[in-house]
Amino acid sequence: MSGIRSVVRGIGSYLPANIVTNAELSARIDTSDEWIVQRTGIRQRHIAGEGEFTSHLGLAAARNALAAAGLQPADIDLIVLATSTPDQTFPATSAVIQAELGITHGAAFDVQAVCSGFVFALSTADAHLRTGAFKRALVIGAETFSRILDWEDRGTCVLFGDGAGAMVLEAVPVNEAGNNGVLTSHLRTDGRHRAKLYVDGGPSSTGTVGHLRMEGREVFKHAVGMITDVIEDAFAATGESAQSIDWFVPHQANRRIIDASAQKLGIAPEKVVMTVDRHGNTSAASIPLALDVAARDGRLKAGDLVLIEAMGGGFTWGSALLRW
């Protein structure tokens, strides 16, 4: 198990074409561009079109990640999809994506840890790859939160957007991987906080899909402490530090949470990858979306040390360090 490392082969993303600005929201509900920008940093979000599902976004992101990796779908034998907005209650949306990619071998399953989903999916895929049971994994975060928002609730509907990102990981013997790949990951859950951020419906309770409900201030209160704790765990496990990382790619929920976390840890502002202004909070999709932005604009290069973290409903939270 210790002889294998999960190495990043490619990253890709996909955003629905339709962009909704703060000004458009202000015309529909009692809010303003000024309030949204000041409190969150968000200026716009992408919203999936009619008939555009989570699987469609995830599939497009997966295809882009495979192209970036120079691989074919047949090269993939594991798909782990993080989502809280599946196409259907079952089958898993990853099974839909697997079939659309024409893959008939290996395994595909979904992971549900809300905004922390991508960190949980990455850690899960990494653990499976390191057993030697699978060779190459697609780790996807894909969400259509627009479908579970209460568009009358200004406290939540201005915050979220739709999108998807995907990463290809390959199991490589450590002596070939060198310093590259997933170096550590740390996952946490404390379900005592579950009523602070939840959806008020579900197959077993109401038989409906429900809408997202959040005590924003309560979530905010816990976010920075939880995020910085689990990042300290990643630093302690590897001997890395705020100084040695090249990029901090956090979950994109709120600019104030990201800035406060970076400041508390002593991470220089120029190392922080910020996309919340353009994407809003895309839950499990936000980290791979931000990684793809940084890879495509040339910031993220081979050999860079990347810190990712997320915190969300549950509460769940987690961190990972990877060398690109």
Q: Tell me which residues are annotated as active site.
A: 115, 251, 281
Q: Quick one: tokens of 258?
A: 């990201």
Residue whose structure tokens are 């379900």: 191
Q: Quick one: tokens of 257?
A: 């949470």
- CA dist 69 and 291 (Å) reads 14
Site string for ligand UT7, 269-288 (x = CB under 6 A): ------------x-------
Query: Which of positions 115-144 make contact with ligand UT7 (CB under 6 A)?
Result: 115
Q: Judged by CB, which is closer to ligand UT7: 70, or 155?
A: 155
| CA 124 to mean position of chain CA atoms | 14
Which of 17, 204, 217, 302 touches ligand UT7 by CB under 6 A?
Answer: 217
Count, residues near ligand UT7 per rule CB under 6 A:
19
Residue 206, C-beta contacts closer than 8 angstroms, at least 6 positions apart: 200
**39 touches ligand UT7 (CB under 6 A):** yes
Q: Judged by CB, which is closer to ligand UT7: 96, or 285?
A: 285
Query: Residues 119, 308: contact at Cβ < 8 Å?
Result: yes
**158 touches ligand UT7 (CB under 6 A):** yes
Numbers of helices and strands, H then E, in the chain: 11, 13
Mark the segment that binds ligand UT7 (CB under 6 A) among 44-52, 57-65, 215-223, 230-238: 215-223
**31 touches ligand UT7 (CB under 6 A):** yes
Which of 20, 21, 35, 237 touches ligand UT7 by CB under 6 A?
Answer: 35
- Among all residues, whose Cβ is closest to ligand UT7? 216
**154 touches ligand UT7 (CB under 6 A):** yes
In the chain, where do the E strands start and end? 4-14, 19-21, 44-46, 78-82, 107-111, 136-144, 162-173, 181-189, 197-199, 212-214, 247-250, 305-312, 316-323
Phi, psi of 258 (to 5 degrees): -65, -50
Query: Which of positions 222-251 make contact with ligand UT7 (CB under 6 A)?
Result: 223
Residues that bind ligand UT7 (CB under 6 A): 31, 35, 39-40, 115, 154-155, 158-159, 216-217, 219-220, 223, 253-254, 257, 281, 312
